[in-house]
Amino acid sequence: MEEINALFHGFSVALSPFNLMLMFIGVILGVIIGVLPGLGGANGIAILLPLTFTMPPTSAIIMLSCIYWGALFGGAITSILFNIPGEPWSVATTFDGYPMAQQGRAGEALTAAFTSSFIGAFVAVVMITFLAPLIAKLALKFGSPEFFSVYFLTFCSFIGMGKGSPWKTLAAMMLGFALACVGMDNMTGQQRLNFGSMELVRGFDFLIAVIGLFGIGEILISMEEGLAFSGSSARIDPKIVIETWKKLPKYWMTSMRSCLVGCWMGITPGGATPASFMSYGIAKRMSPNGAKFGTGQIEGVIAPETAAHAAGTSALLPMLSLGIPGSPTAAVLLGGLLIWGLQPGPLLFVEKKDFVWGLIASMYLGNIAGLIIVLTCVPLFAAILRIPFSIIAPVIIVICAIGAYTVHNAIFEVWLMLAFGVVGYVFKKLDYPMAPMVLALVLGKGAEDSFRNAIKGSQGDFSVFFANGLVGSIMTLGLVMLLWPLVNKLRGK
Amino acid sequence: MNSEQKPEAGDRPVVSNRTMEIVVAGLLLLLGLTFGIASYNLGAGWSEDGPQSGYFPFYINLMIVIASAVTLMQAIRSKTPRPREAFVSTGQLRQIMAVLIPAAVYVLGVQLFGIYLASAVYITVFMVWLGKYSWGKSLALGVTISVAVYFMFEIWFKVSLHKGSWFDPLSLFGL
Amino acid sequence: MVTAKYVAVLGLVASFAGVVVSTVPDAQAAAWEPTKPVEFVIPAGTGGGADQMARLIQGIVAKHNLMKQSLIPVNKSAGAGAEGFLAVKDSKGDPHKIIITLSNLFTTPLAQGTPFSWRDMTPVSMLALDQFVLWVNAETPYKTAKEYVEATKKAGPNKMKMGGTGSKQEDQILTVSLEKATGTKFNYLPFKGGGDVAVQLVGKHIDSTVNNPIEAIAQWRAGTLRPLCVFDDTRMPYKTKITPTMSWYDIPTCSEAGVRTAYVMLRGIFMPPGVTQEQINFYVDLFKKVRETPEWKKFMEDGAFNQTSMSGKEYAAWVEKNEVLHRELMKEAGFLAKPKP
């Protein structure tokens, strides 16, 4: 019960009025950062890092981790309201969240998203509290073959989900991969497929593509249907939170499963993005309503949000105990630790007890503070949809343009975003599925790099993907997922 | 749906779904070919270190070529869904262009005059033109948002946004 | 009611404008000073070594009020940093832009054939030199660099895996020069960042790394990694014990250990071309002040940096010499860009 004592000591550290104030400021800043695409969690924290030098390290990390929470919560807002995911891990939330908002159920979707995020993060924090040293070792087992197997599993759990033409699905997914290839080849340091253009060396950033495909594309579709965002009739009623809560317990299985997927992916460190996609894919397979996913199912919001947050939170564990960041944001936080003179690593838990337990306690408190803040604001967020289209549309386009610009500080990317907008509009009308395309764009490069690294390490020996129990079982699980639809079909006949 | 403005009557189809399917599949085919050939030139083989730079892109683009070729065939033989229906009608196209063209002009404005002036003008004009708001209200909102963005990014978060390659209006304020 | 709201908004705008006007610095100061925020270009991604250093500098400058205007870091990492360097090269005469460099100042133009060299920029000052250390997993039997090299030779070419950051950049160049010096052949595996590399070594997925001290110190202290030698002519000066038995000073140089290889990485500042001497002087002075702060000193010690610093002609001469060294190393390794057809 040493942990409990340490935790309570941590609470006493974190609960000073100054730290509490920082917590609230952090959450609110985080929500703003999460809402504005381009100022994602990693960027946001990197930007604010220097401002925290004047604070004691514990206060600074509390504030930064609260920004992290806020950004995690905030990412869901634009995904649900405008189909614009501000962070890679909110992409899967748009699949059902946005249709829900269109049906006038934005409040419900937001509540479900925030609550699931909270549950995911909470479970992960509990796990960090009690199992930290034990679980941290698991991350060490991950070499390149293991990383590839995780990517493989993510793709497999997502494949075969579309209903449209399989050829279009294939073309869209491969287009995602192809775009991911443009720029630098990490393995050889060679420029490729940029046709000599300096602008294209940057490659196609996920955020630009998604803002364009989903956000701008959606505005064009809305335009075509007349000047309105559907769903503007959203009910704005604080009671919506309670009503949604009454529905949530039904989906405890989805939550549990997503927590597991999330925690596991966060620790290993696959990260929040694969976790959210994988969790969505698995929920679709397992749920009795699976076939209706994509039309505004509440489970389709619960699954990715729970997993993304469980992963985002447990990603802090390998960072603290091993010094490897499980996510880009964690990487920047790691830099912060170094600057404050704290060395993340196995000894941090021994030498800087105050700091570590203060941080863990702040995870509990920050998460609760975050939930309270965002839930109170649900009616407010939902009310954004009531703003007339001719005001909100240009504002969204301005925010998207800023987001696209800040990714690489280049105006070219803003043009690219517009181009993706047109592509998104055309693809949507012709039933080219965009989810596989975005998935491939987000994870394509990681998958290729880890595959090639594994093969180079083993000098061309493919058995490396089944060389030990861990990688072997993940690969097998992936194959099972891949063949699942086939099995189902056979069973059905 | 409580739209503020109904699409005008007298809509004619501009282009059919079938034509659009053919165009898109054709473009994808072309893209796949271009990328595929470029990857092949990079080296799409298997060196002693495992796959070369062009290996993955080559096979990926090969699949794009195959998939879009099949879609193209299906489209030509009208096997794709709703081939005769209109992809977009004149009224719809006009609506879309009413957003797309100003958006393009806006991005050009950002490039030339920086993000702040362009955004203020864009929001104002959009509101007046499409939303039929008064100039005063629109201008007030446009300027407010632009100023808020300035404070949020340049002052608060210390993120420098695009300043305009041709003329930087902020220089008038000595910023 | 509605109009009242707009009036309030306008009032707010006006008060903001007032703030802006009052913060404009007076241009009466004697020496040159920045008149607007200075863009601090980082030719690498967020979270890396250069990024950390740049953000630390930003924090120090703000905390100690070393400059009236603020320093705004901007990451321009595309094309192995080419994007950042080209942006500085193209801002001729702009005194409100500086760039922090790492070895990609040399490696990127050489490996990518990107049209720029350090001569297209104005050298300001060298902040420090980053060291490289040969690391192995603490559970392996190798106690010295020599033992490890012998084992590598015995295992045969491509059998021992050397992990590093990026491709055709400092880690791989160092690996190649190690191979040249010892007649071995490693299987070089590129990873995303120094932290990842260190953990891969702890997990025994690779056999050795050439991590910078700061990237592997945590694992060294925890007893999971072992340093074999430092790739420099002299030992690192820091004598505070890091582990119960060793300090940075106790790590032998690679030459001492019988593996004659040395390589350090530049952490320096450049400005765009065509700036005045007065403007250069301002930044030289600014970074001198930064180096004197306790935060900077602590950071140097934590990261076991080589605190050599220089500016002016001396700095330019050093950079020139280092460029020649890189060209030679990369030519031998076959990393030079093929001439464009």
Residue B49 sits at the chain A interface (C-beta within 8 Å):
yes
State how far residue B147 is from chain C, nearest Cα, in angstroms.
7
Please give the residue range of the domain that contains residue C149: 133-250
Each residue's pLDDT tens digit, A208-239: 888 899 889 988 888 887 655 555 555 567 77
Nearest-Cα residue of chain B relative to residue A460: B50
Question: Are residues C270 and C193 located together in one domain of the fold?
Answer: no
Cβ–Cβ gap A332/C47 under 8 Å: yes
State how far residue B5 is from chain C, nearest Cα, in angstroms.
24
Q: Which chains touch C (3 or more CB pairs under 8 A)?
A: A, B
User: Contacts of residue B2 in chain A, CB cutoff 8 Å?
Assistant: 228, 232-233
C23 pLDDT higher than 60 = no
Question: Are residues C220 and C300 located together in one domain of the fold?
Answer: no
**Beta bridge partner(s), residue C187:** C161
Of C3, C9, C71, which to mutate for an interface test with B (greatest number of B Cβ within 10 Å)?
C9
Which residue type is seen at C297?
K
**Beta bridge partner(s), residue B15:** B88
Q: How far apart are CA A90 and CA A79, in angstroms?
A: 6
Residue C299 sits at the chain A interface (C-beta within 8 Å):
yes
- Residue B151 counted as domain residue: yes
Question: Are residues C153 and C199 located together in one domain of the fold?
Answer: yes
- Residue B163 counted as domain residue: yes
Nearest-CA neighbor of A120 among A257, A320, A267? A257
Nearest-Cα residue of chain B relative to residue A431: B81
Residue C200: partners with Cβ closer than 8 Å, 6 or more residues away: A143, C163, C191, C206, C209
Each residue's pLDDT tens digit, A474-486: 999 889 888 877 7
Cβ–Cβ gap C6/B159 under 8 Å: no
The encoded tokens of residue A462 equal 């493919």
Each residue's pLDDT tens digit, A115-143: 999 999 999 998 888 877 677 677 788 88
Residue C72 sits at the chain B interface (C-beta within 8 Å):
yes
Each residue's pLDDT tens digit, B127-162: 998 888 999 999 999 999 999 988 888 877 777 788
The number of CA neighbours under 13 Å toward the Cβ of A236 is: 15
Of the candidates C10, C16, C70, which has its C-beta nearest B140's C-beta?
C10
Nearest-Cα residue of chain B relative to residue C62: B158
Q: How confident is the model at residue C272 (pLDDT cuts 50, 70, 90)?
A: very high
SS3 C265: strand
Identify the domain boundary among B69, B87, B105: B87
Question: Are residues B73 and B117 located together in one domain of the fold?
Answer: no
State how far residue A344 is from chain B, nearest Cα, in angstroms.
26
What pLDDT is recorded for position A233?
54
Q: How confident is the model at residue B31 (pLDDT cuts 50, 70, 90)?
A: very high
| C2 close to C62: Cβ distance less than 8 angstroms | no
Q: How confident is the model at residue A41 (pLDDT cuts 50, 70, 90)?
A: low
Question: Are residues B78 and B141 located together in one domain of the fold?
Answer: no
- Residue B83 counted as domain residue: yes
Question: Are residues B83 and B93 located together in one domain of the fold?
Answer: no
Question: Are residues C155 and C91 located together in one domain of the fold?
Answer: no
Question: Are residues C231 and C275 located together in one domain of the fold?
Answer: no
Cβ–Cβ gap A334/C47 under 8 Å: yes
What pLDDT is recorded for position C13?
43
Size of interface B-C (CB pairs under 8 A): 30
User: Contacts of residue A346 in chain C, CB cutoff 8 Å?
Assistant: 218-219, 222, 224
User: Contacts of residue A460 in chain B, CB cutoff 8 Å?
Assistant: 46, 48, 50
Q: How many domains does chain C have?
A: 2
Mean per-residue pLDDT of chain A = 83
Task: Tell me the CA distances in angstroms from A486 to A161, A166, A187, A482, B77, one per residue in order.
Answer: 12, 14, 35, 8, 29
The number of CA neighbours under 13 Å toward the Cβ of A215 is: 32
Mean pLDDT of B62-81: 90
Q: How many domains does chain B have?
A: 2
Choice between C20 and A386, residue whose per-residue pLDDT is larger? A386
Nearest-Cα residue of chain C relative to residue B174: C24
| A132 close to A321: Cβ distance less than 8 angstroms | yes
What pLDDT is recorded for position A423?
95
Each residue's pLDDT tens digit, C219-235: 898 888 999 999 999 99
Q: How confident is the model at residue C8 (pLDDT cuts 50, 70, 90)?
A: very low
Q: Tell which B residues from 104 to 123 touch A, by Cβ distance under 8 Å.
A: 104, 106-107, 110-111, 115, 119, 122-123
Question: Are residues C117 and C137 located together in one domain of the fold?
Answer: no
What pLDDT is recorded for position B162?
85
Question: Are residues B69 and B117 located together in one domain of the fold?
Answer: no
User: What single string gives the DSSP state of each residue in A3-32?
Assistant: HHHHHHHHHHHHTSHHHHHHHHHHHHHHHH
B74 pLDDT higher than 50 = yes
User: Contacts of residue C21 in chain B, CB cutoff 8 Å?
Assistant: 173-174
Choice between C16 and C300, residue whose per-residue pLDDT is larger? C300
User: What single string gives the DSSP state of each residue in A413-434?
Assistant: HHHHHHHHHHHHHHHHHTT--S
Burial class of A353 by CB neighbour count within 10 A (0 to 12, 13 to 18, 19+) = middle
Considering chain C, what percentage of its residues have pLDDT values greater than 70? 89
Beta-carbon count within 10 A of C284 CB = 17
User: Contacts of residue C9 in chain B, CB cutoff 8 Å?
Assistant: 140, 144
Choice between A162 and A454, residue whose per-residue pLDDT is larger? A454
Nearest-CA neighbor of A49 among C70, C54, C68, C81? C54
Strands, DSSP E only, in chain B? Answer: 13-16, 46-47, 50-51, 86-89
Each residue's pLDDT tens digit, C119-132: 999 999 999 999 99
Question: Are residues B102 and B146 located together in one domain of the fold?
Answer: yes
- Residue C170 counted as domain residue: yes
Each residue's pLDDT tens digit, C143-183: 999 999 999 999 999 899 999 988 888 999 999 989 988 88
- Phi, psi for residue B13 in degrees, rounded to 5: -65, 140
Of the candidates B51, B96, B123, which has its C-beta nearest A224's C-beta?
B96
Q: Helices then strands (H, E): number in chain B?
A: 5, 4
Cβ–Cβ gap A189/C168 under 8 Å: yes
What pLDDT is recorded for position B5?
42
- Residue C1 counted as domain residue: no
In 3-state terms chain C splits into helix, strand, coil percentages (rounded to 5) of: 45, 15, 40
Q: How far apart are CA A306 and CA A310, in angstroms?
A: 6
Considering chain A, what percentage of its residues have pLDDT values greater than 70? 91
The encoded tokens of residue A356 equal 């570590």
ipTM: 0.90
Q: How confident is the model at residue C11 (pLDDT cuts 50, 70, 90)?
A: very low
What pLDDT is recorded for position C62?
82
Residues in chain A: 493
Which residue type is seen at B45?
G
A321 pLDDT higher than 80 = no
SS3 C241: strand
- Residue C316 counted as domain residue: yes
pTM, full prediction: 0.85
Choice between A319 and C159, residue whose per-residue pLDDT is larger? C159
Q: Which chains touch A (3 or more CB pairs under 8 A)?
A: B, C
Identify the domain boundary among B87, B103, B134: B87
Q: How far apart are CA C195 and CA C191, in angstroms?
A: 9
Question: Are residues C62 and C115 located together in one domain of the fold?
Answer: yes
- Residue B60 counted as domain residue: yes
Cβ–Cβ gap C6/B140 under 8 Å: yes
Q: How confident is the model at residue A247 (pLDDT cuts 50, 70, 90)?
A: confident
Secondary structure letter of residue B153 according to DSSP: I
Identify the domain boundary among B87, B117, B133: B87
CATH number at residue C151: 3.40.190.10
Least confident of A154-168, A400-414, B103-117, C269-283: A154-168
Task: Tell me the CA distances in angstroms from C35 to B175, C28, C69, C121, one per residue in order.
Answer: 8, 11, 7, 21
User: What single string gives the DSSP state of each residue in A292-352?
Assistant: GTTSS-THHHHHHHHHHHHHHHHTHHHHHHHS--SSHHHHHHHHHHHHTT---STTHHHH-
Please give the residue range of the domain that contains residue B154: 89-173
Q: Tell which A residues from 190 to 209 touch B, by Cβ distance under 8 Å.
A: 190, 192-193, 195
Question: Are residues B50 and B106 located together in one domain of the fold?
Answer: no
User: Contacts of residue C20 in chain B, CB cutoff 8 Å?
Assistant: 173, 175
- Residue B5 counted as domain residue: no
C320 pLDDT higher than 90 = yes
Each residue's pLDDT tens digit, C60-82: 888 888 998 888 888 888 778 88
Q: Helices then strands (H, E): number in chain C?
A: 11, 10
Q: How far apart are CA B32 and CA B36, in angstroms?
A: 6
Strands, DSSP E only, in A41-195? Answer: 183-185, 190-192
- Residue C320 counted as domain residue: yes
**Beta bridge partner(s), residue C257:** none
Cβ–Cβ gap C78/A49 under 8 Å: no
User: What single string gives the DSSP state of each residue in C113-164?
Assistant: --S--GGGSEEEEEEEEE--EEEEETTSS--SHHHHHHHHHHH-TT-SEEEE
Least confident of A228-237, B94-103, C257-266: A228-237
Cβ–Cβ gap B157/A44 under 8 Å: yes
The packing angle between helices C170-182 and C312-333, to 10°, is 60
Residue A202 sits at the chain C interface (C-beta within 8 Å):
yes
Q: How confident is the model at residue C135 (pLDDT cuts 50, 70, 90)?
A: very high
Structural domain spans, chain A:
2-492
Q: How far apart are CA A404 and CA A202, in angstroms?
A: 13
User: Contacts of residue A394 in chain B, CB cutoff 8 Å?
Assistant: 122-123, 126-127
What pLDDT is recorded for position A211?
87
Least confident of A277-281, A344-348, B133-137, C314-318: A344-348
Identify the domain boundary among C226, C250, C274: C250
Of C205, C248, C338, which to mutate for an interface test with A (greatest number of A Cβ within 10 Å)?
C205
